[in-house]
Structure 1
Amino acid sequence: MRYAQLVVGPAGSGKSTYCSTLVKHASDSGRVIEVVNLDPAAEHFDYEPLVDIRELIHLDDAMEDEELQFGPNGGLVFCVETLLENIDWLEEQLGDVDDDYILFDCPGQIELYTHLPVMRKLVDQLQHWNFRICVVFLVDSQFMVDGAKFMSGTMAALSVMVNLELSHVNILTKMDLLGKSARKQLDE
């Protein structure tokens, strides 16, 4: 049995920071957690990835292609679709070790999880490879203080739950950056 967290959420919500913090905590506890970077636009992170999608395709490659002429959003979708077309590459990179615990650090384009089928296809493949998966949905707490944004964030989380059909944990990040009045408003 293999275990994984699919770490998702909007851009800037703290996905890579979450992954690096868990890796450090595991290391301090004498355990090993690996991270797979699925963000083809990532520039740097504080962990050494077990697998890095940028070795297969980089966002710049998709955006600079004369035929494709993708912008950043279309390029991200194209890169994840390219990963799915080369799923054997991912399987080879992951290996086949029982009791693996892997974090999949995903891109911040929310459409990949809310209504496009690409991440659902990846989830199906991971389950076929004997992974038990939980989704960790991160939302920046600074954007949740406003009532309309709070509803938008919770609806996005619900959409991800419905689309991916997996166990799901929602986390408000960056709580330490909120002032006292914002914390009180969020609590209410």
Structure 2
Amino acid sequence: MPFAQLVIGPPGSGKTTYCHGMVQFMTALGRKVAIVNLDPANDQVPYESTIELSELITLDDAMETVGLGPNGGMIYCIDYLCQNFDWLEKRLADYPDTYFIFDCPGQVELYTHHEGLREVVEKLVKLDFRFATVNLVDAHHCTDAAKFVSVLMMSLKTMLWLELPHINVLSKIDLIESYGKLDFNLEYYTEVQDLSYLLECLNAGPFGQKYHRLNQAMCQLVEDFSLVSFYPLCIEDKKLVNNLLTAIDRANGCAFGGLSQGNNSIMEVAVKAGLNSDVWDVQEQYIDYPELYKKSSAQDNDRDS
């Protein structure tokens, strides 16, 4: 009964950096973890991948052989993996009692309406893999109401399409205001609270007023499903990584036992550590008083040295 994370998200959301940081964190906890790189175009990765789709097919091969562009070639590679699933099954079987992290491509249609990746995951589930989807989106989208609504819609569509236990993540939370100020407190965006306030921001300009009925319908759709919420993450912040891993462990069932006897005690400690990150602490550290925290951290480092 292998446990696994399916790491997805649009280009630039920090998937590869997340996989690298998470495998380091989990290894430090004493877990046996391996990364499966399912991006046939991403061969320059900072981590040591255990299994790579490029061993089976590369994006360049697909583009040259079939005459496709980058997007079509990526879809072809995932379809090819689905058709040759026995290759992946045999490669995974070489690593028993291992926790897998699947680093996926950044092509959004693979998670929203294309069948290929979903069929691969369904076949893995039939082999008793226990998945949790980790959907990363860049936190700076929160600084623009229109971008945040698009993130909400994409996240909701992904949740409904993949039909897996699902964790949405606001990555790069330390850079959230690098493109502008937030209209509301961070908790508003992580909990996806009353979107009528966001609707006011959407309708503020002449362009937004023109599409006010569409804006209202999208906000109402997200609220009606009431499924989307986010965990804040800075991959260098051990507390936030631990909070996120705790949530993932509960989502895929890893927290309730499995893998090996040695890992069970680690998982129990993770559960006892708490389920929710303190969003207000994150707001203070990365949004309200970042310079104060940087100064305090520098002083701590000086004392340690």
Tell me which residue corresponds to 1:168: 166
Tell me which residue corresponds to 2:142: 144
Letter in 2 for 1:171: V
Q: Larger C-alpha radius of gyration, 1 or 2?
A: 2
Tell me which residue corresponds to 1:35: 35
Letter in 2 for 1:85: Q
- TM-score, normalised to structure 2's length? 0.58
% identical aligned pairs: 47
Tell me which residue corresponds to 1:115: 113
| Structure-to-structure mapping, 1:62-101, within 5 angstroms | 62-65=62-65, 68-95=66-93, 99-101=97-99
Q: Which has the higher contact order (CA 8 A, sep 6+)?
A: 1
CA distance in 2, matches of 1:96, 1:134: 22
User: Once superposed, what is the RMSD of the aligned Cα atoms?
Assistant: 1.7
Letter in 2 for 1:151: V
Tell me which residue corresponds to 1:47: 47
CA distance in 1, matches of 2:55, 2:24: 24
CA distance in 2, matches of 1:97, 1:103: 13
**Where does the alignment leave 5 or more consecutive residues of structure 1 unmatched?**
none
What is the CA deviation profile of residues 68-88 of structure 1, one whole-angstrom value per residue up to 9, with x for unaligned ones?
A: 221111000000001111101
Change beyond 3 A, Cα 1:88–1:140: same
* Ranges of 4+ aligned residues in structure 1 off by more than 6 Å: none
Letter in 1 for 2:68: F
Question: Is the deviation greater in 176-185 or in 55-64?
Answer: 176-185
What is the Cα deviation at residue 22 of structure 1? 0.8
What is the Cα deviation at residue 183 of structure 1? 5.5
Q: In the comparison of the two structures, how many residue pairs are matched?
A: 186
What is the Cα deviation at residue 143 of structure 1? 2.6
The structure carrying a bigger helix percent of its residues is: 2
Tell me which residue corresponds to 1:14: 14
What is the Cα deviation at residue 149 of structure 1? 0.9
Question: Is the deviation greater in 55-64 or in 74-83?
Answer: 55-64
Question: 1:153 aligned to 2:115?
Answer: no
What is the Cα deviation at residue 41 of structure 1? 0.7
What is the CA deviation profile of residues 50-82 of structure 1, one whole-angstrom value per residue up to 9, with x for unaligned ones?
A: 1100011111111122xx221111000000001
